[in-house]
Structure formats: structure tokens, C-alpha cells
Structure 1
Amino acid sequence: MTDSQILGSSSGPVVKAAYWFPDGETKPTGSVIPQSSAILIDSTLFTHLFCAFADLDLETHRVFIPQRHEYEFSTFTEIVRQKNHNVKTLLSIGGKKTDNKFAFASMASNRTSRESFISSSISIARSLGFYGLDLAWEYPNNDVEMNNFGKLLQEWRSAVEVESQRTGIRPLLLTAAVYYTSDYNSVSYPVQAINRSLDWVNLIAYEFYGLTTEIGPPAGLYDPSKKGPCGDTGLKHWLKAGLPEKKAVFGFPYVGWSWTLDDDKDHGDDVAVTHRVAVTANGSINYDQIVKFITEYKARTVYDSEVVGYYCIAGTTLIGYDDIQSVVTKVIYTKHKGLLGYYAWNVGADDVSRLSRAASQAWGNTEASGGE
């Protein structure tokens, strides 16, 4: 089998991936955290792991590693390959920081700054032992930025191929994290440039609700009302726009969203998918903390099979999240649709690998080592 097949190109076997985001991990008070908590990842459950996030300098447009994570990022590949020598690591650049949006838009606006980004990203990936690069520009939000996004991808791919030919080393993987649907703010992604330039895209099929007081499934696969966002609708839009199934990797979260209700009455089994309850949005909560919340407060849990998602409620606290059954259903859906694979955000929020193990088993273990 060739490297391109092993590493997950459009002809590759499967992608079972997760992002690792050290800032998003649960770190209990008083516990001893390893110098790099990447050692806690069970990499045998994955083919690819994304190390998030490298940053982008606003002035030079060069990629750099935040100082607080220099050791963790520099040792990431070495650590996760101790348990699974076949796992492929990618350095993810970007994230949700507000200044990243401006930095990416500025960088992509002219060829010189794009060259600075591209050359520095390749240099860092090679120096730290990563097998690929991931762009998390969340999100280009007008026609100009989408057009520049396409140019960036094409020039990035060209530079990666040239570097590979010059050094004799297999080309770096190139991926991007994109909106759940092919349009963002009524502006279309450059799908043809994506198809030509990227090995695949990670569809962010979550964070649908939670940023406001509106209650809804944070990562619903379906929407029976056909009025709100859901993963299935987003995937259909991408495929209709021309994205091949084998360029799509479907995402689901190990992070839920919490709300505070206006009272502690029993609002019924449909509370998580209605808009009748006055609430306050509280923010994200990691899956391992949700498990503890359910146990400690004896929370009532409900699985919505029509939506494919969970919620739990105790007192005035309501949390929407994914658990084993919804994760397994989404993995089976992904495989049934003929997609390249799935990814989770983020592995540090899992509860002793419960969700990661369920996902890997749902797909099947024959390809778990990446095909080597």
C-alpha cells in the first residue's frame, strides 16, 4: 500500500480522527497532570490525530506555536505514536479566537502574505514531526474571503508538492475544518479548489445551539422540524455542491452545552428541542464532566432518537450532549453514507476513552491502525 493510501487521500481506507486541544481538557483540582497530557490519549483508537492550535502572527502572517504549548506540541507526535506507530498527526492552525478571523482574512488577501503562511506552516510541520497540516479558519464570511481561501488552498497544495519533490519525503497531508454546510453567511465555499487541493475536509457538524439562550440539540444529526441546523442537512448541501463522499469527514463533539431554566419543573421529554422555556445560556461542558454531573445530581437523561442526541436535566440545569448511543449512530451513518470517516472534538474531553472506543468499535477495528 502506498503512503497516499495509508495517509487518507481520497483513495485511502478510512479516517478515525480526533482533535487534541489541551486548553479544553478537564483538569481536576489537586490532580497531577503529566507534563504533556497527550500521554493520556489512547491512540490505538485512531488513524489520525489533530494537534490544536498553532497560531498566526497578525503582522508577519507566519505560523507559530503558542509559548505555553511549545513542549506539548513538539512532543505530540512522538508521544501518541508510542501506543500506535501507525497513527498520523496533523498540526491544526487557527481556532475560534476573534483575532484569528482577522489574521486569516488579512493573510489570504495577497500572494506575499499567503507565501509567508505557507512556507512557515510547512517548516513547522516538518520540524516537529507532523504528517500534515489542518486549516481551522472559522470562517471566511464573504465572497472575497472565500475566493482568497480557494487561492490559499491551491498555493498550499502546490508548495507541499514542490517541497516533497525537493526533499524526497512524502507530501504533507492537507485538510481544513469547515462549516457544517457548504454555505456560510449565504456565501459558498470554493468546492472545486477544495477538491483539487485538500485530502479531505472536517465537517463541523455541531455547535448548532448553545451560544444563545435558544435551546436546541447542539449536534443533532437530524431535525424533524426541518427548520433548524443539523448534520444530515449540512452533508447533503456539501455533496450537492460537488464535494465527493471520500473528501468528507463527519464531526461530532465530546463537549455539550448547558442552559439554566427559569424554574425546576419537569418540562417533559421534548424540552431540549422546543423553544418554550426561558433560559440562560451557560456555555460548553466536557463529556467527562457531564458524566459526573449526571451521577452527582441524579440527573434525568433522555435520548432523542429522531434527533440523535442526548440531554440531561437536574433542577434548573439542562445539558445537551452526545453519549455512546448517539456517537455510534453517527459513526454508522457516516459509514453508510460512504464518507472517508469521522472525527471528534475533542479527545481531552472524553471520559476514559468511552466515546472514542465506542466510535472505533462501531466502524470496525480492522482499519484502526491506519492500514499499515
Structure 2
Amino acid sequence: MGKLLALLAVLSLGQIIAGERIVNCYWGTWANYRAGNGKFDVSNIDPSLCTHLSYSFFGINNNGDIQSLDTWLDYDLGFIRQAVGLKSRNPNLKVLAVIGGWNEGSVKYSSMAGDWNKRRNFINSALNLLRNNGFDGLDLDWEYPNQRGGNWADRSNFVTLLRELKEAFAPYRYELGIAVGAGESIASSSYEIANIAQQVDFINVMTYDFAMASDGKTGFNAPQWAVEDSINYWLSQGAPAHKLVLGVGTYGRSFQLSNPSQNWPGAPCRGVGNAGAYTGDGGYLGYNEICQYNWHTVFDNNNAAPYAYSGDQWVSYDNVLSVQWKMDFALRKNLGGAMVWSLETDDYRGLCGETYPLLKTINRKLRW
């Protein structure tokens, strides 16, 4: 009887841990401006599929103050208010304000992190942003310390900034997360991993963008080996498993083949693939675009990832099967959860079958 009770206790603990895993849903709010079935607004969000909704992006000015990057959308259209309002449908949902992103660059963040007065401005404006709008926390996406115009001092200054944010947030129980470059080459240059891990509630590891057309050849956006190597590196450098959140891209990187008859991984490419009807950027296709293409599709078991091609167009992406493999890895490593970049490129309308197939796959593995 005692052994049975002990077994039940272990099983219950496993269910609790599984239930507490994060599913962090990044949302690029500019998708509101996309055409046709690519248009995405708050009404398209299913808050039951997310533990966290990461509202992207806010920026900063040269003094370190946080600022809206689209005041008409954020405030006049009421996107922030509507996003926070989703908590009425899922009371456990945490809505986070995301600061930074690739387009914000690194220079302003390097200057802010290294200057006491600018850090004060940043922290005070963060508190005001969260309090005034009902956010539950902040996600800092500085891409990247000590890169893109930054300097070596960014590494230690980033730790200082996060420590001061943590202290300022504590009385309000605001959550603090960061989004980080995944691979060893970026992470070793940008972060004091063990030190930043002590200051934050979770670390969103951007385990994608491992191949680009600028490489001169086709490659996988998020091959399993690169994902595993990245997570293992973060673990080896002192990041606790329960704070690591595995990134899943709901998009693919596309390429224009140099020779359409050479359509395998590693084949020469002459540039980025054609822009999609929704996303409108060369070299980048949403899963909601890819799944509608009648291209020849191959699942590469060695990389646990699919690719597809038609004529001189080639794309690598994630599908339900590759996401399942990634979630199995996250479970084996007992990671804190998974995140998606981003909601508006999953098949949220169900144009190819069920709605949100990739996000639902994550939930089935980690939460349900």
C-alpha cells in the first residue's frame, strides 16, 4: 500500500510539473496590417492555448525610456487593452510586454544598460507601462549584447540591468523573461549565462534561424541537432532546465535555388525565396502560407524537419511531426516549456485543417 501511495504521489507530481510548463505565445502585432487571410488581430487569439501572451514589440528612446512603436495600434485601436482583456477568458493567462526585437538593434540597449541614469529611466518606464496597462510582466529581447554595435561590457551590464529589474518588479510580482540567441557562437559572446539565469523567471531560447539564404546554400531553419546542441550548451553553462523555454518557429526560411534540379538540403542557392502573399518578405514564409502550397514535401529524418520545393523555390520549416520531436526533447530535458514565434504565422484560421496545428501540438505534448 505504501509503495502504491508513493507511486501515486510521483505521478501526481509529474502531472503538476507538466501542468505548470510554459507555452509562451509571441504575437507580432503588425500582422494587423496584412492582407486577406493573413490579417491577424486579437479576435484571432485563442487564450486557452497559451500560458503567456507576449505582446511584441515596444522600443526605447536614446534616454532609455520605453516607447510604443505604433501608438495608433497599441492605444487608438486598443490592442493592448484587448490583449490584457483576454484574461477574462483565461484567468491564468499572463500577458507580457516585449521590449526590443531585431529591428530595434543593439546600440540603444548597450548605451542604456551601461548608464545608471538610463537604466533608472528604463526601469521606471517599465513599471509605468506594466502598471498603467495591466501587463503581468516584461520580456526583454535585446538582440544582442556585445554584438551589432554593442561592446564587451554589455555582458556584465546585462546582468546588472536584469538584477535591478528583478528587484523593482518583486513588490508587484511582475514576471521577468528574456529572449536569447540560441547557438553557442551567439550565446558565448553575448551572455554570462549562469548569472543572467539567476535574475529571470524564464529564458526564451530562439532555437531557429540556423540557416539563411546568405549562406549560399539551402539549409534547415531549425534542425533537431542544432536545437539539441543549443539547449545542451545553455544547460552546460549553468542555466537551470526549468527556466529554459524551447523556441519553435511557426514559419520557414525560403531560398531560390541556383539550379531547380538540385533541390536537396545543402544545394546552392542564389538568394532568398519569393515573398509570401501574407508575410510579404523575401526568404520568409508563414506556416499558414506553406501549408497551402502544393509543393513536393520531404521529411528529413536525420534533421527531424521537413522541407518543400517547387521549381526554383525551396523552404525549410516546422510541421506537426517536427514539433512533436522537439517537444519530446523538451520533455526529456525537463525544460520549462516552449514558445512560438509567432501566433500569426501558424495556420490560425485552419485553412489546411484544424486551427493552430503547431501550437496545439505543443499543448498536447506539454499541457494536455
Confirm or deny a common fold (TM above 0.5): yes
2:310 pairs with 1:286:
no
2:78 pairs with 1:87:
no
- Which residue of the partner structure matches residue 196 of structure 1? 198
Residue 43 of structure 1: which of 47, 53, 67 is its match?
A: 47
What letter matches 1:284 in structure 2?
Answer: Y
Q: Distance in 2 between matches of 1:110 and 1:211?
A: 37
C-alpha change, 1:235 and 1:55, in structure 2 (3 Å) is same
2:30 pairs with 1:23:
yes
Q: Distance in 1 between matches of 2:74 and 2:237?
A: 39
Moved over 4 A (4+): 31-34
Q: Distance in 2 between matches of 1:96 and 1:180?
A: 14
Q: Distance in 2 between matches of 1:215 and 1:316?
A: 11
Q: Distance in 1 between matches of 2:180 and 2:220?
A: 20
- Which residue of the partner structure matches residue 70 of structure 1? 74
What letter matches 2:164 in structure 1?
Answer: E
2:243 pairs with 1:239:
no
Q: Is the 8 A contact 1:182 1:241 kept in 2?
A: no
Secondary structure, counterpart of 1:143 in structure 2: coil
TM-aligned CA deviation for residue 73 of structure 1: 4.1
Residue 313 of structure 1: which of 303, 309, 312 is its match?
A: 309
2:60 pairs with 1:56:
yes
What letter matches 1:46 in structure 2?
Answer: C
Residues matched between the structures, number: 328
| Cα RMSD after superposing both structures | 2.2
2:123 pairs with 1:118:
yes
Residue 158 of structure 1: which of 150, 162, 167 is its match?
A: 167
TM-aligned CA deviation for residue 301 of structure 1: 0.6
Q: Is the 8 A contact 1:38 1:79 kept in 2?
A: no
What letter matches 1:38 in structure 2?
Answer: V
- Which residue of the partner structure matches residue 100 of structure 1? 105
Q: Is the 8 A contact 1:77 1:130 kept in 2?
A: no
Q: Distance in 2 between matches of 1:11 and 1:290?
A: 31
Q: Is the 8 A contact 2:180 2:187 kept in 1?
A: no
**1:141-152 to 2 correspondence within 5 Å?**
141=146, 142-152=151-161
C-alpha change, 1:361 and 1:186, in structure 2 (3 Å) is closer
Q: Distance in 1 between matches of 2:330 and 2:178?
A: 18
Query: TM-score scaled to structure 1, two decimals?
Result: 0.83
Q: Is the 8 A contact 2:59 2:66 kept in 1?
A: yes
C-alpha change, 1:211 and 1:64, in structure 2 (3 Å) is farther
Q: Is the 8 A contact 1:25 1:348 kept in 2?
A: no
Secondary structure, counterpart of 1:70 in structure 2: helix
Q: Distance in 2 between matches of 1:132 and 1:319?
A: 35
Q: Is the 8 A contact 1:89 1:130 kept in 2?
A: yes
What letter matches 2:53 in structure 1?
Answer: L
TM-aligned CA deviation for residue 19 of structure 1: 0.2
- Which residue of the partner structure matches residue 360 of structure 2? 357
C-alpha change, 1:13 and 1:25, in structure 2 (3 Å) is same
What's the % identity of the aligned pairs? 27
Segment of structure 1 superposing worse, 337-346 or 99-108: 99-108
Residue deviations 1:76-120 (CA, integer Å, cap 9, x gap):
4334324322211111100001x5311101111111111110110
- With CA pairs under 8 Å and 6+ residues apart, which has the higher RCO, 1 or 2? 1
Residue deviations 1:301-330 (CA, integer Å, cap 9, x gap):
111122121111011100110011111111
TM-aligned CA deviation for residue 15 of structure 1: 0.3
Q: Is the 8 A contact 1:252 1:343 kept in 2?
A: yes
Q: Distance in 1 between matches of 2:38 and 2:58?
A: 25
Residue deviations 1:203-242 (CA, integer Å, cap 9, x gap):
00001112513321011121xxxxxxx1111111111101
Mind listing any 5+ residue stretches in structure 2 that lack a counterpart?
A: 1-16, 274-282, 349-355
Mind listing any 5+ residue stretches in structure 1 that lack a counterpart?
A: 1-9, 223-229, 366-372
Residue deviations 1:223-281 (CA, integer Å, cap 9, x gap):
xxxxxxx111111111110111011001010011111112332x36xx12x2x424312
Q: Distance in 2 between matches of 1:80 and 1:20?
A: 13
Residue 346 of structure 1: which of 338, 342, 346 is its match?
A: 342
What letter matches 2:22 in structure 1?
Answer: V
Secondary structure, counterpart of 1:105 in structure 2: helix
What letter matches 2:268 in structure 1?
Answer: V
Residue deviations 1:176-205 (CA, integer Å, cap 9, x gap):
001103552752512233222100100000
Q: Is the 8 A contact 1:182 1:189 kept in 2?
A: no
TM-aligned CA deviation for residue 148 of structure 1: 0.9
